[in-house]
């Protein structure tokens, strides 16, 4: 029964988001965020720490780059950086939980991506990036490994969206 209440809450959120003027992808991402928030999926601390470390490194690189781009000497990170570290930890937790939820949906629903879907998306990607299909295949790999993960993720998000609609 709790699951049904959560799906109803997702439907209510979906209606509010649709009225807000967001596009469909933004609505799907917001519903995914809410579904992850409601999920009771176990989130291993080790995964959160790895994600947190990656986010901190990215933030440090961005700050260093901004100093370099402005031609300023770098003497250390601003105080605001240290104040933001806890929010990065929360972001890391949410990111890991979301990915675990998507993986659980992919496994529970036995979602798959066909070779035809991979090739179609590979061609579409090449067109968007204005590169040849061969260049896109070189980037993604002959088995389209990078693309497969992305397409499975999209299918799981679509499934969450569709189930919110059905209530």
* 121 and 157 both lie in a single domain: yes
Residue holding tokens 């990065």? 88
- Kindly report the number of other CB atoms within 10 A of residue 123's CB atom: 13
Tens digit of each residue's pLDDT (9 = 90 or more) over 62-84:
999 999 999 988 888 888 888 88
Q: Which residues form the domain of 67?
A: 43-96
Tens digit of each residue's pLDDT (9 = 90 or more) over 77-107:
888 888 889 899 999 999 999 999 999 999 9
pLDDT in tens, the chain (167 residues): 344 455 556 666 666 666 677 777 887 888 888 888 888 999 999 999 999 999 999 999 999 999 999 998 888 888 888 888 989 999 999 999 999 999 999 999 999 999 999 989 988 988 998 999 888 888 888 788 889 999 999 999 998 888 764 33
* 26 and 66 both lie in a single domain: no
* 167 and 136 both lie in a single domain: yes
Residue 139 contacts residue 132 (beta carbons within 8 Å): no
How many domains does the chain fold into?
A: 2
Return all residues near 126 (Cβ < 8 A) that are at least 6 apart: 132, 133, 135, 136
Q: Is residue 102 part of a domain?
A: no
Q: What is the pTM of this model?
A: 0.76
Residue holding tokens 């209510």? 12
DSSP SS3 for 61: helix
Q: Is residue 115 part of a domain?
A: yes
């Amino acid at each position: 029964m709790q699951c049904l209440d959560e799906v109803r809450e997702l439907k209510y959120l979906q209606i509010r988001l649709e009225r807000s003027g967001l596009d469909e992808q933004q609505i799907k991402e917001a519903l995914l965020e809410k579904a992850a928030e409601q999920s009771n999926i176990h989130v291993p601390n080790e995964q959160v720490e790895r994600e947190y470390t990656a986010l901190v490194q990215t933030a440090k690189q961005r700050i260093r780059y901004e100093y370099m781009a402005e031609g300023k000497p770098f003497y250390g990170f601003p105080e605001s950086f240290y104040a933001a570290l806890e929010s990065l930890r929360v972001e890391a937790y949410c990111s890991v939980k979301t990915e675990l939820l998507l993986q659980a949906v992919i496994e529970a629903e036995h979602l798959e991506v066909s070779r035809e879907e991979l090739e179609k998306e590979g061609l579409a990607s090449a067109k968007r990036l204005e590169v040849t299909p061969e260049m896109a295949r070189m980037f993604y790999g002959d088995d389209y490994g990078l693309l497969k993960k992305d397409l499975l993720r999209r299918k799981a998000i679509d499934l969450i969206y569709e189930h919110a609609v059905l209530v």
